[in-house]
Structure 1
Amino acid sequence: MTTAWWQQPCATPHARFAEGALERQRQLTKPAGSLGQLEAIAVRLAALQGQAHPRVAEVHIGLFAGDHGIVAEGVSPYPQAVTGQMLRNFINGGAAISVLARSLGAHMAVVDLGTVAPLDLPGVRQVRLGAGTRNFAQTPAMTEQRCARALEVGRETAQEAAAAGAQLFVGGEMGIGNTTAASALGCVLLDCPATELVGPGTGLDAKGVSHKAVVIEAARRLHQQQASDPLSTLACFGGFEIAALVGSYIGAAQAGVAVLVDGFICSVAALVAMRLNPGCEPWLFFAHQGAEPGHKRVLQALGAEPLLALGLRLGEGSGAALAVPLMRLACELHGGMATFAEAAVADRPA
């Protein structure tokens, strides 16, 4: 039997460079461990990049968009037309992620995998898998074939980033209704009640959040036989853009490019990616813990230590973009600080 591409091995971190980076951290003019997570970032990146002085100068952002049939169940206060409107905003430079990408000097690729209304936007890669996913309250969101194609589109985006010299890949998403899809995926994969993960998304009130939980629980019962493994669960409850994120994370790890994971939806995609290919875990950094209630639960399940906690719930990859300077500075500190010997500073208390 042929192994699916997403099950093929990921790149292996270089243990020798991790050891060397740890030794350098011990020699730098500071108390041991005093830079906390910044030290760990530098050591991990040294291992992933296979070099003594890692860098994250080249950042590539893959922004995936798609609509969701589950919106028909009244789980979002916004109309689906917003997805396409925001794609135009991304390209025109007015969205938060557009501003952040410019500020970071990052390359941004925008991919439309299936908005409700067909779009013809210069600068947007069109991979139309349908007019959004189907309503998973009634039927699986995606066929296996469309799910596999969405995974492949994510992989292609990550491979293009790697070929262009990316040192860090950031995935972003846009799709009205995708917090519902992500919550459903998380509930099934973590085997927890919907009430533990659902939140307001783009602005639901308490009644709307309760309704979202009811919709998800009913869908879980409907698909309980079919959603038997991570891939079928993704097809039953996910979105085109969520599947593309999953594929991009695995594809980046296979190509040897570190990944910075954004908020709740992206973290659920990371959970799916790790279930499909556990070898991608060392390549995933987690940018922040957002305001969506389920995000903390998912991060705990992943054993992730996020870099920021700013109460964010925007998506788009914005939280990950905000954490890029921390990763850059971690590398600058690692490579630029003097050692005790170089600075003629005593390396231990008298």
Structure 2
Amino acid sequence: MLTREKLSKLNIEPPSAAIYQASRDKWDGISKPIDGLGDFEKVVARIAAIQGTVAPSLDKRAAVIMCSDNGVVEEGISQTGKEITKAVAAALGSGISTACTLGRSAKVDIIPVDMGIDCDETIDGVIDLKVRKGTRNFVKEPAMTEDETLLAIERGIELTKDLAAKGYKVIATGEMGIGNTTTSAGVLSALLHEDSEEIVGRGSGLDDAGLSRKREVVKAAVNKYGAGDALEILACLGGYDIAGLCGLCIGAALSHLPVVVDGVISTTAALVAERLVPGVKEYVIPSHAGREKGNLMALGKLGLAPLIEGNMALGEGTGAIMLFPLLDVVMDYYLGGAEFSDYSIDEYKRIN
């Protein structure tokens, strides 16, 4: 079983700096202005460095959707009840959810996982890695024990390793859990030492009264539990979905897989992963800006910027899934675009 000590001793090898530079040089040889495709050129070079080849591949990809319930929902911080978590997980399992529809178009395998749905039965089509039937209400007590948190992280790591062994070249993160914009706001507020009012958003559509209540709940919980280290903050204020996604990011880095993160819950998990195991952020690929302010704050702390705007707030990994068609177009051009030598014209020179 993963322990705090074992977690602290995990070592992340950095992506290849030499291959990153070789990829950037390859881009400069393609017949276009220097940095003409902007951040997409850097992302392809980062993926190349992570995979250890100047000719990277995105041919086999999956989006892992971690599903879990959150005890804090009983405080009235969401427009809907926890029963929606199970319903959407079932839709994921049967292939009819939003993520599944987008995934078919983007050629992304959808892998839903039960990390902590509050139900007794196994849901068809959903991998059962349940730690517990929902977290505790962090207004009254810590959401998870440290052992539960470590178990969720470990299961995320092992799942990623299994996907790598099956030949997946890149994974994306997603989640489903009523109340998880509240838990992620609590974790982020504590990690970043930011006032909860700057981070807490409307989630799936709270009115002004609901938003005010949500901010009060998060502020009280952060005041109570926010002084610990990253693992303690995750255990007290997070959820099994966030912990599982944290493990997924760590596992991706250990397996030399790029991990495309979705919105604020996923970026919160990535930030926790980086705090627990430094070096993880080098394997994280951002997708979209999101509607929750905390997403950009977390990405900024990781030194990353989103590739898509869009004002999205759907969840289920949809923003990460939607990035793949763009990456496919850019990757095809990178691997097969005409070079200046094909035109017998002088190439652009990089001005440093």
TM-score tier by shorter-chain length is: over 0.9
Aligned partner of 1:28 in structure 2 is 30
Rounded to whole Å, the distance in 2 between the matches of 1:286 and 1:157 is 21
The Cα shift of 1:249 comes to 0.3
Rounded to whole Å, the distance in 1 between the matches of 2:338 and 2:5 is 48
8 A Cα contact 1:81 1:117, kept in partner: no
Rounded to whole Å, the distance in 1 between the matches of 2:198 and 2:4 is 38
Deviates more, 1:315-324 or 1:1-10: 1-10
Rounded to whole Å, the distance in 2 between the matches of 1:183 and 1:84 is 22
Aligned partner of 1:338 in structure 2 is 338
Rounded to whole Å, the distance in 1 between the matches of 2:345 and 2:94 is 52
8 A Cα contact 1:7 1:276, kept in partner: no
The yes-or-no answer on 1:272 pairing with 2:275 is no
Aligned partner of 2:255 in structure 1 is 255
Rounded to whole Å, the distance in 2 between the matches of 1:301 and 1:11 is 21
Secondary structure, counterpart of 1:278 in structure 2: coil
C-alpha change, 1:261 and 1:313, in structure 2 (3 Å) is same
Residue correspondences, number: 347
CA offsets 1:33-60 (integer angstroms, 9 cap, x no match):
1111121112111111111211211111
What is the TM-score when the length of structure 1 is the normalising length?
0.95
Aligned partner of 1:309 in structure 2 is 309
The Cα shift of 1:150 comes to 0.6
The Cα shift of 1:89 comes to 0.8
Secondary structure, counterpart of 2:201 in structure 1: coil
Aligned partner of 2:68 in structure 1 is 66
8 A Cα contact 2:260 2:287, kept in partner: yes
Q: Aligned AA for 1:9? A: N
| Structure 2: gaps of 5 or more residues | none
CA offsets 1:52-108 (integer angstroms, 9 cap, x no match):
211211111111111000011110110100000001111222211111221222222
The Cα shift of 1:284 comes to 0.3
Q: Aligned AA for 2:281? A: E
Rounded to whole Å, the distance in 1 between the matches of 2:140 and 2:24 is 53
8 A Cα contact 2:94 2:125, kept in partner: no
Rounded to whole Å, the distance in 2 between the matches of 1:129 and 1:50 is 35
Aligned partner of 1:57 in structure 2 is 59
What is the TM-score when the length of structure 2 is the normalising length?
0.95
The Cα shift of 1:2 comes to 8.4
Aligned partner of 1:116 in structure 2 is 118
Aligned partner of 1:76 in structure 2 is 78
C-alpha change, 1:80 and 1:144, in structure 2 (3 Å) is same
The Cα shift of 1:142 comes to 0.2
Q: Aligned AA for 1:29? A: S
CA offsets 1:184-232 (integer angstroms, 9 cap, x no match):
00000000110001111011111111111111111122224xx410001
Write out aligned runs for 1:1-350 (5 A).
3-5=5-7, 7-224=9-226, 227-348=227-348
Deviates more, 1:120-129 or 1:160-169: 120-129
8 A Cα contact 1:71 1:135, kept in partner: yes
Extract structure 1 runs of 4+ deviating beyond 4 A: none
8 A Cα contact 2:142 2:236, kept in partner: yes
Rounded to whole Å, the distance in 2 between the matches of 1:200 and 1:116 is 23
CA offsets 1:144-181 (integer angstroms, 9 cap, x no match):
11111110111122111111111111111111000000
Q: Aligned AA for 1:239? A: G
Rounded to whole Å, the distance in 2 between the matches of 1:116 and 1:235 is 18
8 A Cα contact 2:90 2:124, kept in partner: no
The Cα shift of 1:277 comes to 1.3
8 A Cα contact 1:41 1:330, kept in partner: no
CA offsets 1:118-162 (integer angstroms, 9 cap, x no match):
232222122232220000001100011111111011112211111
The Cα shift of 1:299 comes to 2.2
8 A Cα contact 1:262 1:288, kept in partner: yes
Secondary structure, counterpart of 2:342 in structure 1: helix
Q: Aligned AA for 1:342? A: D
Rounded to whole Å, the distance in 2 between the matches of 1:189 and 1:348 is 44
Rounded to whole Å, the distance in 2 between the matches of 1:89 and 1:206 is 30
Rounded to whole Å, the distance in 1 between the matches of 2:173 and 2:189 is 22
Please tell me the root mean square deviation across aligned C-alpha atoms, in Å: 1.6
| Structure 1: gaps of 5 or more residues | none
The Cα shift of 1:294 comes to 2.3
C-alpha change, 1:109 and 1:59, in structure 2 (3 Å) is same
